[in-house]
Amino acid sequence: MNEFFELVLSKDRMSASVKLRDLALDISLDEQSFKDWLHEKKIIFGLKHEAIHSLCSNPHQCQYPVLVAEGIAPINGSDGYIRSEFNTSEEKSISGKRNFNFKNIMNIPSVKSGQLVATIIPPTLGVSGMDVYGNSVPAKNGRPVRLRPGKNILFHQNQVYATTDGQISITSNSINVFPVFEVQGDLDMEVGNINFIGNVVIKGNVPTGYSINAGGDIKITGLVEGAELIAGGSISISGGIAGASRGMVKAGVDIHTRYLNQAFCEAGNDIYVEASILHSTVECGGHVFAPKGQIIGGRVSANKGIEVGEMGNEHYTKTEILVGNIQSLLDHEKQLKKEMDEVKESLEKLHVLKNKLEGVLHFRKNLTQQEQLLLKKQQTTSQSLENKLMLLQNEYNQLMEEYTENKDAYVKVHGTIHPNTQICFGKYRKLTQQAVKGCKFVFRQGEIITIPL
C-alpha cells in the first residue's frame, strides 16, 4: 500500500486522508488489505467504510485526498450563568444578544424583601472525543459562576433572595440590592460630585467637570458632557454623551446611550448606541451595538464583535475598528513580553556570573568570603527571578487562552463601510480602499476575510 498511497494526518489527529502517489499506476485493491494497512499505521478509530469501499472499488475515479478516518471532536461544557427572575424592559436580541429598547431607557427594577431575584445555573460537563488513533481527547468542563457575596442578598440552594427593599444590580460576578440616590434635575453646585454605594438616578443633565461614582447602576435622563461617570453596574444615558474629549464613562457591565461624540467610554460587557459614535474612544469586553448608527473617526474596540449601520464617511475620515482582542489585552501582552525579556536578560547575566565563580572555584579550589557571598546572592536572586518568570509565563498563557476564546469575533456593517476604515483582529489589519456595502468581517486561518450580507 505504501507504494500506492501517502497517508496524511491532521495536526490534531482528528482526521486521516490518503493521496495517490502516481495516477499512472495500475492498482488492484482489496478492501480488507487496505484496512489492515490503516491498522498498521495505527489508524483504528472512525474509519469511513463507504469512502474506503469506493476507493478500493475504483481508485482512479476518486477525488484525492480521500478522507478515510475521522475522529469525534470533544464537546466543551457550557459555563454556568446567572438567570434573572424579575421582569425588565429589555427585549429580544440583536445577533443573539440582549437588545436594548432605546425608547425606554434602562429601567432599574425594584425588588421587595424576600423576593427571588436570581437563580444560579450550574455549568455542564464536557464530553470527551476520540482521535483516529483511538486516543481520548479531553473536553473542557464549563466554568461555574464565581459569584461574590453582595449587599442585601441571601443565597439558598443556588437561588438568590433580596433581604431588603431596593433596586437590583447584577454584574458579571455579583448581585446587590442597593438603595437609590436620586437628583430631581441637573447635577449642579448645590448637589456637587456624587460618591454613592448604591444606584444613582439623575433626572436631568450632567455638565462638564462633575463626577459620579456609584457602586451599582447610574441612570441619566438627560445629557452628559465632559464629566466622569464610574459605575460598578450599568450606565444608562437617555440623551447622549458630548464629551468634547474630556471626562470618561466607565461601567462594570453595560453602557446604554443615544449617541457618543468625542467621548471616552469603557464597559465590561456591551455598549448599546442608538445613533452615531463620532470621534470617540470606545472599549468593551463584549459587543458594540449600533445597528442603525454610524461610526466616524476615533477608535472603537470590542472583544467579541461590533455591529453598526455604517463606518467612516465620504470624506475618508480615518476610523479604527479593533475586534477580537481589546486594546487593553494587546497592551497587557506587550507589557508581559517586555517584563519576561527583562527577567530572562537578568537570568542570563546571573548565569554568566555563576559560571565565572565556578571557574574560579575549580581553578583555586576555594573562594574568598566576598566571592562566597556573591555566589550565594546570585543563587538567591536567580531563584527569585525564576519564580517571577514562571508567574509571568502563567499570566501570559492565561492571556493567550483569552485570545483563543475570541475566535468567533466579527465586525458587521449593514450599510456602507467607507475607505480609510481600518479593521483590526488582534495584530492583523485590513485597510478598506473602496466603499463596500453590507458585509461582515471575520478572522479565519491568519486572514481577515469579507463576507457579503
Q: What is the pLDDT of residues 72-120, one digit of tens each?
A: 999 999 998 888 887 644 433 333 344 444 433 445 677 888 899 889 8
- 285-317 pLDDT, tens digit per residue, is 899 999 999 999 999 999 889 999 999 999 999
Among the listed ranges 27-41, 58-72, 294-308, 320-334, which one has the minimum average pLDDT value? Answer: 320-334
Do residues 188 and 286 share a domain? yes
* pLDDT over 90 at 17, yes or no: yes
245 and 183 in a single domain? The answer is: yes
Same domain, 446 and 316: yes
- Say yes or no to pLDDT of 404 above 60: no
pLDDT at 139: 93
Q: Sorting pLDDT into bands at 50, 70 and 90, what band is 407? A: low
Reply yes or no on whether the pLDDT at 428 is more than 70: yes
Residue 76 inside a domain? The answer is no
405, pLDDT greater than 50: no
Say what the pLDDT of residue 330 is. 67
Q: Which of the 8 DSSP states describes residue 381?
A: H
Residues of 320-349 as b/e, b for ≥16 C-beta within 10 angstroms? bbbbbbbeebbebbeeeeeebeebeeebee
**183 and 223 both lie in a single domain:** yes
- Average pLDDT estimate for 411-420: 94
Query: 232-257: per-residue pLDDT in tens?
Result: 999 999 999 999 999 999 999 999 99
190 lies in the same domain as 249: yes
Tell me the average pLDDT across 260-280: 95
pLDDT of residue 240: 94
Check residue 61 and report its DSSP letter.
Answer: G
- Domain of residue 347: give its range: 328-404
Most confident of 128-132, 160-164, 342-346: 128-132
Provide the domain count of the chain. 4
Q: Within this chain, do residues 85 and 120 fall inside the same structural domain, yes or no?
A: yes
Which own/partner contact pairs does 336-344 have at CB distance under 8 Å and 24+ positions apart? Answer: 336/392, 336/395, 336/396, 336/399, 337/396, 339/392, 340/389, 340/392, 340/393, 340/396, 343/385, 343/388, 343/389, 343/392, 344/389
pTM score, whole prediction: 0.59
> Is residue 29 located within the same domain as residue 163?
no
Please report whether residue 299 resides in a domain. yes
Residue 95 has a pLDDT of 37
* 15, 46: one domain: yes
Question: What's the confidence (pLDDT) of residue 191?
Answer: 85
Q: Is residue 402 very low, low, confident or very high in pLDDT (cuts 50, 70, 90)?
A: low
- The answer as to whether 131 is a domain residue is no
301's CB contacts (< 8 A; 6+ apart) are: 282, 283, 284, 321, 322, 323, 326, 327
Q: What is the dihedral of CA 276, 94, 92, 153, to 10 degrees?
A: -80
Residues 192 and 230 in one domain: yes
Same domain flag for 191 and 271: yes
Tell whether the model's pLDDT for residue 165 goes beyond 90: no
The secondary element (H helix, E strand) that includes residue 76 is none
Please check whether residue 135 lies inside any domain of the structure: no
Cell numbers for 43:
489508524
Q: Do 229 and 160 share a structural domain?
A: no
| Weakest-pLDDT range from 169-178, 208-217, 421-430 | 169-178
378 domain-assigned: yes
Instruction: State whether 31 and 85 are in the same domain.
Output: no
How many whole angstroms separate alpha carbon 210 and alpha carbon 199? 17
pLDDT at 97: 42
Place of cell 455598549: 271
Residue at 85 is within a domain: yes
